[in-house]
Amino acid sequence: MSELWGVLEEHLPEFSSGLWVTFRLVAASLLIAIVVGTLVAAMRVAPAKWLNRLGGVYVETFRNIPLLVLLIIMFAGIRRGGLLIDPWVAAIASLGLYTAAYIAEALRSGVFAVGKGQIDAALSLGLTYPRTMRRIVLPQAFRTVIPALSSLVIAMIKNSAIVGASLVALPDLLKQARQVQADTFQTGEVFFWAAVGYLLLTVTATIAFRYLEQTYAIKR
Amino acid sequence: MQYLFDPDNWEWLWTGNNFKFLLEGFAVNLEIAAIAMVLSFAFGLVLALLRISTARLISLPVGIWVDVWRNLPLVFIILYLALAIPSSWREAYGNAIPDFFPDALQDELVLGALLGLVLYNSAVLCEIMRSGIQSLDRGQREAAASLGLTYIQQMRFVVLPQGLRRMVPATVSQLITLNKDTTLVSIIAIQELVRHGNTVAATGFGVEVTAPILQVFIVVGLLFIAVNLALSRLSRRLEIRERKRTGTTLKTVRGLEDQVALESDTIVR
């Protein structure tokens, strides 16, 4: 038992810096994912057929490719192509674009839940299509899909560990834990505290989303 | 862009055994996914039945077990097991696995990978099945009980056939996630598609053409996209037919990565 605390005491800087890197990675990727996801969702419900198709191709591509393969393409692949991409950029872009596909699908279901009547009403009042989306549909769609977004953010926190384990090797929580393990050989203790770190993040996200849900969600 | 489509950079694909070597790697992924899925399904069903038990002494610890495993990153679990599994277990696995299994699975390292995939996915599948079972009207079970069926018969003939049928889309989406997750075992040095891709990119197999890693992994990604798309299309077709036949409704679960996608598909149709 004392060993358990000893590891934490001695290596707290590594663990906390790892946790901070994981947090920043998730936050930045979430931002990208929401922006791109909203655009793709808007494409998927747009009146133009070719936009629907394009959005569909995006979603099916990024939803069915393993994140690890995406990271290799984004980092090693692009570097080999001659562009010296920064590890952070590669990691955030991969995780963000990957999750964007799921967010787009969630939002699309939210848009369908808003109802055609409202869209027709807005259009007949003379609002343009982008404006209808931005002012009428998307605000409601977001509020409908808060529970789904909560699942996605938790999945994202878990997926962020793949970044530290892959060749991108940002010093995130998992990477730091492996480093401490390699130095101390206290496998059980080190992984216990890393697990606590991940559970801390997922539980915080769950609580935050529960609050958002109670305050803003539209029940259907 | 020019670099991406330059035919010189694609020549590796039809030179030598490169593509065949990638496919051999992919077969390992699919084998691991298939075995992990069968085991997770069986283990997840047991967990789900224990978790809905009315005895708190059983349902509480099982609930904690499930929540812990499904809230940890899968890479984390696999890496931990790779370091923590005693070598005697690995030897036992090496001795126990039957010879007719494919060569790639004979490797003793595979035990950690399979164990990690099963621990994580059985916890997720447990949640899927539990919400399927609990979404059934309780009258179903009460009716079965009043007809004199034992607990096992109630489950076997009344509750599970209906409850699990509702969960087919969620289960398939988890199967697709599992198929993608098999790439993670490359991190503990099992020779599967990602490792094979790296080998191809590094050596080009003694032929004079080089295989740039970007193009190699685009092919790797396309292999996954093809199989996963086929899987989801097939299941959707089966599921729509089945739903028309039996008239069951769909139930969604929280905390699944791919749940929302299937949800929106069902709304459109």
- The verdict on B103 touching A (C-beta cutoff 8 Å) is no
Q: How confident is the model at residue B206 (pLDDT cuts 50, 70, 90)?
A: low
Q: Per-residue pLDDT tens for B25-53? A: 899 899 899 999 999 999 999 999 999 88
Chain A residues with CB-CB distance to B221 below 8 A: 65-66, 69-70, 73
- The verdict on B259 touching A (C-beta cutoff 8 Å) is yes
- The verdict on A77 touching B (C-beta cutoff 8 Å) is yes
Separation between Cα atoms, residue A134 and residue A127, nearest integer Å: 10
For B43, phi then psi, to 5°, come to -65, -40
Q: Which of residues 130-149 of B touch A (CB under 8 A)?
A: none
What's the total number of domains in chain A? 1
Q: A174 and B76: CB-CB below 8 Å? A: yes
Report the sign of the C-alpha dihedral through residues B138, B143, B149, B155, in that order: negative
CATH of the domain at A188: 1.10.3720.10
pLDDT at residue A139 tops 50: yes
pLDDT at residue B240 tops 50: yes
User: In terms of CATH architecture, what is B2-268?
Assistant: Orthogonal Bundle (1.10)
Separation between Cα atoms, residue B207 and residue B210, nearest integer Å: 8
Q: Which two tokens stand for residue B72?
A: 């940890």
For B256, phi then psi, to 5°, come to -100, 140
pLDDT at residue B260 tops 70: no
Q: Which two tokens stand for residue B139?
A: 């009258």
Q: Which of residues 58-77 of B touch A (CB under 8 A)?
A: 68, 71-76
Separation between Cα atoms, residue A78 and residue A86, nearest integer Å: 10
Q: How confident is the model at residue B269 (pLDDT cuts 50, 70, 90)?
A: very low
Q: State how far residue A179 is from chain B, nearest Cα, in angstroms.
A: 12
Q: A66 and B258: CB-CB below 8 Å? A: no
What are the extents of the domains in chain B?
2-268
Q: State how far residue A163 is from chain B, nearest Cα, in angstroms.
A: 10
Q: Per-residue pLDDT tens for B147-202? A: 988 888 888 888 888 888 778 878 888 888 899 999 998 888 888 888 888 888 87
Pick the residue from chain A with its C-alpha nearest to B179: A66
Q: How confident is the model at residue B207 (pLDDT cuts 50, 70, 90)?
A: low
- Report which of B161, B156, B154 is spatially closest to residue B139, judged by C-alpha positions: B154
| Stronger pLDDT, B28 or B92, i.e. the higher one | B28
Q: Which two tokens stand for residue A31?
A: 């931002």
Q: State how far residue A198 is from chain B, nearest Cα, in angstroms.
A: 7
B211 near B39, Cβ under 8 Å? no
Q: State how far residue B261 is from chain A, nearest Cα, in angstroms.
A: 5
Q: How many CB pairs under 8 A join A and B?
A: 145
Separation between Cα atoms, residue B189 and residue A197, nearest integer Å: 26
Q: A112 and B4: CB-CB below 8 Å? A: no
Domain of residue A66 covers 2-216
Pick the residue from chain A with its C-alpha nearest to B71: A199
Task: Count the alpha carbons within 13 Å of B98 in the hemisphere toward its beta carbon.
Answer: 2
What pLDDT shows up at residue A123? 87
Chain B residues with CB-CB distance to A194 below 8 A: 76
Q: Which two tokens stand for residue B28?
A: 């390992």
pLDDT at residue B249 tops 80: no
Measured from the Cβ of residue B108, the count of other Cβ atoms closer than 10 Å reads 16
Q: A112 and B229: CB-CB below 8 Å? A: no
Q: Per-residue pLDDT tens for A171-207? A: 888 888 888 888 888 888 888 888 999 999 998 998 9
Chain B residues with CB-CB distance to A112 below 8 A: 264, 267-268
Q: A73 and B221: CB-CB below 8 Å? A: yes
Chain B residues with CB-CB distance to A68 below 8 A: 183-184, 186, 194
pLDDT at residue A48 tops 50: yes
Mean pLDDT (chain B) is 82
| Stronger pLDDT, B170 or A208, i.e. the higher one | A208
Pick the residue from chain A with its C-alpha nearest to B6: A81
- The verdict on A204 touching B (C-beta cutoff 8 Å) is no
Which region among A60-74, B147-161, B242-256 has the lowest average model confidence (pLDDT)?
Answer: B242-256
pLDDT at residue B250 tops 70: no
pLDDT at residue B237 tops 90: no
